[in-house]
Amino acid sequence: MASMTSRSRVARQTIKEVAARAGVSVGTVSNVLNSAAPVSAELRRRVLKVIEDLNYHPNHTARSLKSNRTKMIGMVISDIVNPFFPLLVRGAEDAALQHNYLLVTFNSDSQIDRERNLFHVLSRYRMDGILLVIASENDLEHVHRAVDDGTPIVFLDRVPKGFACDSVSIDNFDGARKCVEHLIVVGHRRIGIIGGSPDLHIAHERLRGYRVALEAAGLALDPDLVTWGNFNLESARQAAEVLLRLPQRPTALFATNNVMALGALQVMHSLGLKCPNDIAIGSFDDLPLFEALSPALTGVAQPSYDIGYQGAELLTRRLEGQLDAPVHVVLPTHLKIRASSLPANS
């Protein structure tokens, strides 16, 4: 007991020393550390300089026990291998750090059991809130339980129904519709689609965009041209193989995420088909490497950094008691047209 009291006294004396050296109150130092109240730029600069000079490190464990807050945010994403997610994580991390929260990121590998286990870990380490890209909408009991226990959750990218939670997503329907409309405008009438995971709402929204674009152009939906993948490379290869071996194959493909677009390209090359001469292709998602491909790949660009950044901003505001009703942010997409979807002679 004596040693614990001694350690606490050292921590108190240290923050007092920071305050004394900076010529401010202990409360001002605390506000700088916790962003609990506004502090002028000059005072903040002065306090941070003293903290750096003294190499002061606050006792986060003691503070979390006292405040029942850890200043840590858990983040669970579905597939760390997918190039869409690193920028999303970066955006969330930048926003969290600006509010003095530590972001701890986990990968569910699109597996419900793994996501469920990660929620146990997040609970054990007392995360203040969770940023979540769900693996599936088939089993969300663990998410319901966390919400019922009072853990704030912000859904990113994929927004399931039945939750009074904040969310940041994009307009999946509109992005898909724009891409398929472009393929129709440049002359394609048989357009195959490689859909995403059937148990995710975003996959159905992208399929709906495809269907509406066809209907608006007076084109009938051919069930043979609709395939399902799982937002990964192998499922895309299998789906593309089916489409490209049809007796009357499509003249264009719409892949509903970036990884599946790359899988479709691999199959096209293996079959000796040229893009866009034999098969044009457009992708939902855009990657920097798409411009380096030959031909450069048309893609629906998503603001992945902004999804993460605005999600973490929402969560910190929720944790600081600045929000009442759930907030749902829907960000626009932008179609980047490149050679993969243009007529060969254009």
Q: Do 86 and 49 have their domain in common? A: no
Q: pLDDT for 240-272, tens place per residue?
A: 999 999 999 999 999 999 999 999 999 999 999
pTM: 0.80
Q: Do 193 and 297 have their domain in common? A: yes
Predicted pLDDT at 45: 86
Q: Do 278 and 218 have their domain in common? A: yes
For 175-188, b/e burial (b = at least 16 CB within 10 A) is: bbbbbbbbbbebeb
Angle ∠(216,221,222) on CA atoms, nearest 5: 155
Predicted pLDDT at 12: 41
106 in Cβ contact with 117 (< 8 Å): no
Instruction: Tell me how far apart the alpha carbons of residues 157 and 167 are, in angstroms, rounded to a whole number.
Output: 8
Q: Which of the two residues, 26 and 286, has the higher pLDDT score? A: 286
% residues pLDDT > 90 (the chain): 74
Q: Do 282 and 325 have their domain in common? A: no
**DSSP SS3 for 38:** coil
Angle ∠(240,332,77) on CA atoms, nearest 5: 65
Q: pLDDT for 58-68, tens place per residue?
A: 655 455 444 45
Q: Do 135 and 148 have their domain in common? A: yes
Residue 87 confidence (pLDDT) above 50: yes
Strand order in the sheet with 153-156: 102-107, 72-77, 129-132, 153-156, 166-170, 328-331
Predicted pLDDT at 68: 59
Q: pLDDT for 26-57, tens place per residue?
A: 788 877 776 656 778 888 888 888 887 777 76
Q: Which of the two residues, 50 and 320, has the higher pLDDT score? A: 320
Name the residue with tokens 């040693």.
3
Q: pLDDT for 186-230, tens place per residue?
A: 999 999 999 999 999 999 999 999 999 999 999 999 999 999 999
226 in Cβ contact with 255 (< 8 Å): no
307 in Cβ contact with 157 (< 8 Å): yes
Residue 13 confidence (pLDDT) above 60: no
Predicted pLDDT at 191: 98
Mean pLDDT of the 90-113 span: 96
Continuous segment of H or E residues that includes residue 318: helix 304-319
Q: Do 165 and 312 have their domain in common? A: yes
145 within a domain of the structure (yes/no): yes
Which CATH number belongs to the domain containing residue 103 in this structure? 3.40.50.2300
Name the residue with tokens 């088939």.
138
Q: Do 259 and 187 have their domain in common? A: yes
Range of the domain at 107: 72-170+304-332
Predicted pLDDT at 58: 64
Structural domains of the chain, count? 3
41 within a domain of the structure (yes/no): yes
Q: Do 81 and 48 have their domain in common? A: no
Predicted pLDDT at 36: 57
Predicted pLDDT at 48: 84
What's the chain's average pLDDT?
89
Q: Do 135 and 229 have their domain in common? A: no
Q: Do 249 and 224 have their domain in common? A: yes
% residues pLDDT > 70 (the chain): 90
